[in-house]
Amino acid sequence: MTNSAVEDVCIAWRKGLRRVWDLPASTHARLITPLCGLLQLKVELASCCVKFMANCLSSSNHKVEFVARQSVYFQRLYSPIGRKAQHLTFLFLILLLVVESFLRLGLCVLLYEFCVQINKSTIYGGY
């Protein structure tokens, strides 16, 4: 998500949406996806990552759950999943403590929906 190639794909996606919806080339990037009734591609990808991490952290396989928990909470910058969690918390404007409280209560799906709602309000300007 922090790689420049991801941003290139998102730009190409927005250009494709402009062509499909016959929008002018001058249409601002933040307006394209709401006009089409979609979330930004980067937000969609991030939401999938959040759901994956939530599934790993609440896995019934104790090894998967242990490795995910160690990566996210204790080895944050030393593991790919930990770095991704750190990046997503800044992207979604939530703290890891909020994620942990959702996971302790077994509310992984609610966490995913919470993250999507936060991004919808960010995309639409919080109005």
What are the respective helix, strand and coil percentages of the chain, to the nearest 5?
A: 75, 0, 25
Cβ-Cβ contacts under 8 Å for 103 (sequence gap 6 or more)? 54, 57, 58, 111
pLDDT in tens, 54-100: 889 889 999 999 998 888 888 877 888 888 887 877 766 654 556 66
pLDDT in tens, 23-59: 888 888 777 877 777 777 877 888 788 888 888 988 9
Cα-based distances in Å from 94 to 7, 25, 36, 65: 22, 34, 27, 21
Instruction: Decide if 49 contacts 84 (C-beta within 8 A).
Output: yes
The letter for the amino acid at 12 is A
